[in-house]
Amino acid sequence: MQDVTPSHIGVASWDGVMYQFPVDGDRHYLKYRKDVIDNPEYQKKYKADTGKELRVPQTWKEYGEMAAYFNDWDWDGDGEKEYGSAEVMKKDDLMYAAFYSRSAAYSKNPKTPGGFFFDLDTMTPLINNPGFVEALTDWVAATKYVPPGGINFGLGDEIGSFGGGQTLFSFSWDDAFVAAMQPDSPINNKVGAAQLPGAMKVWNRKSNSWDEGFNQAPFFVWGWAVGVAKKSKEKEMAFDYLCFFANEANHQADIGIGRFGVNPFRNDDFKAEVWTQIGWDKDIAESYVDTLAKMEESKNRVFPLRVPGTFEFNAALATAAAKALAGQLSPQAALDEAAKQWNDILNRVGKDNVRKAYSVGVAMEDNKL
């Protein structure tokens, strides 16, 4: 347990007390086709056509521009068309997490601590502020550079699409990246990992205006954790099994297989040799562990909601975002609808109940835990 990263100790804890036994560590980050982004010919062509550098996208706007450029043509010479990006856009399939990933850079302002989802003082939902609206506007534009049917991609589709070599970019859990790096993958050792893109402006809810300048915020998405029932008659046996399940050897075997869904959460996982010994190229392994390590070091992180009514909040947001992606509502109208529903949920659950729980998450986001 001493080897668990501080972030995932926080994830498995509540208000400083660890209640869960972590067996997995989840986070969202950018995955890209290294053989394309680092290709000098494509860099030259991209520069000539757009006047911009082809590089690992630093912002969501760059991400969108590159994805649109590399959309709907055969850029890897396999005789089939490739596309810009694979994303989890299917409602009720964890798509809310994808939206939070896209929103963090525009809405998690290190100058305004005290809440990403709600203003902790007033418990006003923040999800319809201009930062979130900008992110949803970007996301609606993304429907133009995902594969046909990409608007209906769930997590499995995203893993299959990027892992199968169909897209230039993807972002979400590790699984697609690890699947892409497996020996049987058509893009084995052709992918790179990087932080989620940032933004050149971030919404300041105190001044009610944009703060100009680069901002980036990693998104931790919990991870599987296990609990042992208080009334269990065989607590020791249960913990013994968990220790076996998550021991170093089993853990090392699990994290190298994408479909297993077990992702790094131990400090040892952040060593490049762990990955080179299962066949990853050294520079890819280094970029991967460097990405994960930088997320740990960041002081501007976002963690998902852990409050009474979380399912309702996330479902309301996902439905609204899905309506915007499908063209049923504008981004602003969709998020206004979600904010109204969040207020209704708050009234049902009780603002103080939610505030009390959310304050723990805010303390993590504000680096106070």
Binding site for another protein (CB under 8 A): 83, 90-93, 147-152, 154, 157, 160-161, 164, 166, 308-309, 311-312, 315, 319, 322-329, 344, 348-349, 353
Q: Of 332, 62, 37, which Cα lies nearest the Cα of 198?
A: 62
Q: Which region, left, alpha or beta, applies to residue 121 given φ > 0 means left and ψ of -120 to 50 means alpha?
A: alpha
Tokens of 147: 């594969």
Q: How far is the CB of 312 from another protein (least distance, A)?
A: 5
Q: How many CB atoms lie within 10 A of CB 270?
A: 17
Say whether 86 sits in a helix, a strand or coil. strand
Q: How far, CA to CA in Å, does 229 sit from each of 118, 233, 236, 313, 351?
A: 32, 9, 11, 27, 30
Tokens 């859990």 belong to 173
Q: How far is the CB of 147 from another protein (least distance, A)?
A: 4
Q: What is the C-alpha to C-alpha distance for residues 19 and 26, in angstroms, rounded to an integer?
A: 17
Cβ–Cβ < 8 Å for 221, 86: no
Residue type present at position 314: N
Q: What is the DSSP letter of 301?
A: -
Q: How far is the CB of 64 from another protein (least distance, A)?
A: 19
In the complex with another protein, which residue's Cβ is closer, 279 or 350?
350
Q: How far is the CB of 357 from another protein (least distance, A)?
A: 10
In the complex with another protein, which residue's Cβ is closer, 44 or 356?
356
In the complex with another protein, which residue's Cβ is closer, 81 or 294?
81
In the complex with another protein, which residue's Cβ is closer, 89 or 302?
89
In the complex with another protein, which residue's Cβ is closer, 72 or 296?
72
The Cβ-side half-sphere exposure at 151, using a 13 Å CA radius, reads: 14
Q: How far is the CB of 246 from another protein (least distance, A)?
A: 28
In the complex with another protein, which residue's Cβ is closer, 152 or 276?
152
Q: How far is the CB of 149 from another protein (least distance, A)?
A: 3
